[in-house]
A and B are shown apart, each in its own frame.
Chain A
């Protein structure tokens, strides 16, 4: 006999009975503590279930409540019984009614026999703990906690606040150093009896009775006083979520649990029939002396925590709808917005698509319809090209598009002629790369065949829209990567400017020089056109300075060929 189990039970007693029987039949004594709140019928049912097993004992019952001293009292009573009744027990293993052994008892016995003086108990100083609920670390020991956290939350919080204000602080008895850790331990007879028979136990108990969650600190602190060799880890695999409640294992965790090589897992869902059936049947697996390796399970649960607290960036759904600025990323991936480029260059989108090796959209926010790449009626994720649907919720239209096309960079055109509501969102999104050539909207007007009066009015409107957008982009709050040129500036070195944008986009083609150039619209006479606008009282100042006779704008190779940039 080397190891005895102390079990604290309060629900699913039939499962506890199953596990207790498993251990007892394999020559491990078991002492069971049943919560006093469990009905007497259930209790006597459990007792009679196990009455054929001489090495299963029941100890005196305490009324147990999470976070209170009662859980320590229960484990004390049960441990005392274990030490007194079973003198051959060398290690005492504290478990609960929802624990399940994952490896054969023989392996545990051999493991402990090879480490006869080792106490397995997670015991960490308060400074090194980051998993506590409510941020109470050191304060667990410095304040008093007479009120139940579950039943009297207001009193609990109020009293904590009051003590903080008053500056009340308790001191640890006998200069004990507070330690915290998982409440599931496995201690040697020597250490455990030293703790339970300590002459100053009364004083310690009195102190810990008003500590917050003492079952995570009582043994963890006192063990430091007596143990000769502490392994600061628990042999029980027990994971907690961000609310401090244990993760539950189900049937589909079978393989994960089996590969973990942990000895005992907590907590098992009481209807996980397959787990109970598998692990309570003797498995013939030869002698395995593997160390417990809960790494894989750790990863599953830390992912769950990450998902619950940070979530997937750029995804909005039924159970994730962050308040403004709590999105952890407004969209899921970087994308590029070009304003003015398809006014200035002929067939800009196909050129850019070839250049980037990706699909390039037209003006997604065109007032008539969404100009998806290839003029599709429906796009990724079944996004509709109907303008009314898009304008009903333009922000979600865009976040959906970026989310639906994860893995493929989205590139689209924007213009002062488009619906402008999305502008503020674009500016505030760190994933947006926005390149603007201001005043380029004037080029189509210049080439249009409209009345000059209409042109003048349209120009005034477009210029106002563009100024509004640019001023949003220039705010300090802007998170997008923004580059703005005036039309005059841009046409001075168009290729270099385009190259700098493409380099910033990155991807497979970054660094490569532009070989095929887009055709720029013929701008001869544009300076005069702007002057005409000015003469009509509308100053298109966002275009920058175009001289009326514009010497720089004459095609280099002569003739009336459109300007070709190399």
Chain B
């Protein structure tokens, strides 16, 4: 890679960090329990808006897997999200009425908080509808994984976003608080993913799944990206460049093996397509706060009104991580 390019990326990273610092001034503290964070804790960082109903299960899922502390940015929720989180003993909460879009979809806020509290910790950065599945997640907690990554000198862990959906119209089975969303949305597309390499940032760019299949059959290039790097041993000089799809410095994006082998990787199970989705999509269309002028949501609104069924006869029913491994959606790598 040319020196000029490298320097450009460096400047870009600095720009993200400055931006993060600037946007951090929008954040208002609600509950600060960060003094509880101990040196080897795994932390979880989330931006959210009106996700109250999902939170009990979300928190339980990550607590059970060994996350010690949660850091939330609440984007002006009106459904009690903020109050609920402030009442949790292991959550620190900030809130802001500022624009989600103008904080690069929450990444500026998170970059700022990561820099402040994430330094030296393994950090899980996810949305409230994303659930990390990694090799042996049924028997080993996340700290087992991060200890192993650390001893292997690996700093970031990739996971593909896997869209889960129910069988039949998504409004048929309403989601109730505390419920495992994958009791309802337990189906997924197992093998229709398209992968390209992004040479600028060194990451892979993956598209496909039910969203490409149903909402973008004529312009698949606009289908949402599914490559994610949700688990990183954070350093205060790192910055997420675009959602959690890619990071700077670019070496962190090399979560794949180029020479034929498989690195260890996981899957981010995406519980987006529940009955809560239709209202969310409508709201987002009005707020126009989402990526690429909410193009994605426009496509959904069009697609969902006609036929809200994402299921097809080739859909695969989720069993466990071993199934995902056999299907080639994740890998144990050399973790045994």
Binding site for B on A (CB under 8 A): 241-243, 245, 247-248, 250-252, 269, 271, 300-301, 303-305, 307-312, 315-323, 326-328, 377-384, 386, 388-389, 392-393, 396-397, 400, 403-404
Across the interface, do A382 and B314 meet the contact criterion of CB distance under 8 Å? Answer: yes
How near does chain B come to A242, taking the closest CB pair, in angstroms? 7
When the two chains form the complex, which single residue of A252, A319, A381 contacts B265, counting CB atoms closer than 8 Å?
Answer: A319
How near does chain B come to A152, taking the closest CB pair, in angstroms? 16
**What are 13 A-B contacts defined by CB distance under 8 Å?**
A251-B139, A307-B261, A308-B261, A317-B329, A317-B330, A318-B204, A319-B333, A320-B331, A321-B257, A321-B258, A378-B213, A378-B312, A378-B313
Across the interface, do A392 and B220 meet the contact criterion of CB distance under 8 Å? Answer: yes
Across the interface, do B219 and A388 meet the contact criterion of CB distance under 8 Å? Answer: yes
Known: A308-B262, A321-B256, A380-B191. A303 touches B314 (CB 8 A): no
- Max chain A Cβ within 10 angstroms of own Cβ: one of B136, B194, B219, B261: B261
B255 at the interface (CB under 8 A from A): yes
- Max chain B Cβ within 10 angstroms of own Cβ: one of A251, A389, A396, A403: A389
* Residues of the A chain whose Cβ atoms lie less than 8 Å from the Cβ of B159: 318
State the CA gap A169–B181 with chains docked (Å).
Answer: 65
- Per-position binary interface string of chain B over residues 180-208, scored 1 when its CB falls under 8 Å from any chain A CB and 0 otherwise: 00000000011111111100000010110
* Residues of the A chain whose Cβ atoms lie less than 8 Å from the Cβ of B197: 321
* Residues of the A chain whose Cβ atoms lie less than 8 Å from the Cβ of B194: 389, 392-393, 396-397
- Per-position binary interface string of chain B over residues 36-76, scored 1 when its CB falls under 8 Å from any chain A CB and 0 otherwise: 00000000000000000000000000000000000000000
Across the interface, do A271 and B195 meet the contact criterion of CB distance under 8 Å? Answer: no
State the CA gap A269–B335 with chains docked (Å).
Answer: 13
Across the interface, do A250 and B191 meet the contact criterion of CB distance under 8 Å? Answer: no
Q: How many residues of B contact A (CB 8 A)?
A: 61
How near does chain A come to B258, taking the closest CB pair, in angstroms? 5
When the two chains form the complex, which single residue of A315, A318, A323 contacts B206, counting CB atoms closer than 8 Å?
Answer: A318
* Residues of the A chain whose Cβ atoms lie less than 8 Å from the Cβ of B257: 308, 311, 319-322
B19 at the interface (CB under 8 A from A): no
How near does chain A come to B67, taking the closest CB pair, in angstroms? 15
Q: Which single residue of chain A is at the shortest CB-CB distance from B197? A: A321
Across the interface, do B220 and A389 meet the contact criterion of CB distance under 8 Å? Answer: yes
When the two chains form the complex, which single residue of B140, B148, B193 contacts A396, counting CB atoms closer than 8 Å?
Answer: B193
- Count CB-based A-B contacts (< 8 Å): 179
When the two chains form the complex, which single residue of B209, B258, B336 contacts A304, counting CB atoms closer than 8 Å?
Answer: B336
B95 at the interface (CB under 8 A from A): no
Across the interface, do A321 and B204 meet the contact criterion of CB distance under 8 Å? Answer: yes
B35 at the interface (CB under 8 A from A): no
B210 at the interface (CB under 8 A from A): yes
Q: Which single residue of chain A is at the shortest CB-CB distance from B227? A: A318
Across the interface, do A311 and B261 meet the contact criterion of CB distance under 8 Å? Answer: yes
Across the interface, do B263 and A382 meet the contact criterion of CB distance under 8 Å? Answer: no
Q: Which single residue of chain B is at the shortest CB-CB distance from A384? A: B213
Across the interface, do A379 and B314 meet the contact criterion of CB distance under 8 Å? Answer: yes
* Residues of the A chain whose Cβ atoms lie less than 8 Å from the Cβ of B334: 241-242, 304-305, 307-308
* Residues of the B chain whose Cβ atoms lie less than 8 Å from the Cβ of A304: 332-336
When the two chains form the complex, which single residue of A319, A383, A386 contacts B262, counting CB atoms closer than 8 Å?
Answer: A319
- Per-position binary interface string of chain B over residues 140-170, scored 1 when its CB falls under 8 Å from any chain A CB and 0 otherwise: 1101100110011100001110000000000
Across the interface, do A318 and B265 meet the contact criterion of CB distance under 8 Å? Answer: yes
State the CA gap A37–B192 with chains docked (Å).
Answer: 52
* Residues of the B chain whose Cβ atoms lie less than 8 Å from the Cβ of A400: 191-193
* Residues of the B chain whose Cβ atoms lie less than 8 Å from the Cβ of A392: 194, 207, 220-221
Known: A319-B263, A322-B260. A403 touches B328 (CB 8 A): yes
* Residues of the A chain whose Cβ atoms lie less than 8 Å from the Cβ of B265: 317-319
B264 at the interface (CB under 8 A from A): yes
How near does chain B come to A19, taking the closest CB pair, in angstroms? 19
B87 at the interface (CB under 8 A from A): no
State the CA gap A100–B177 with chains docked (Å).
Answer: 43
Across the interface, do B261 and A309 meet the contact criterion of CB distance under 8 Å? Answer: yes
* Residues of the B chain whose Cβ atoms lie less than 8 Å from the Cβ of A318: 158-160, 204, 206, 227, 255-256, 265, 329-330
When the two chains form the complex, which single residue of B153, B193, B219, B330 contacts A319, counting CB atoms closer than 8 Å?
Answer: B330
State the CA gap A166–B43 with chains docked (Å).
Answer: 51
B251 at the interface (CB under 8 A from A): no
* Residues of the B chain whose Cβ atoms lie less than 8 Å from the Cβ of A323: 258-259
* Residues of the A chain whose Cβ atoms lie less than 8 Å from the Cβ of B204: 318, 321
Q: Which single residue of chain A is at the shortest CB-CB distance from B336? A: A304
How near does chain A come to B150, taking the closest CB pair, in angstroms? 11
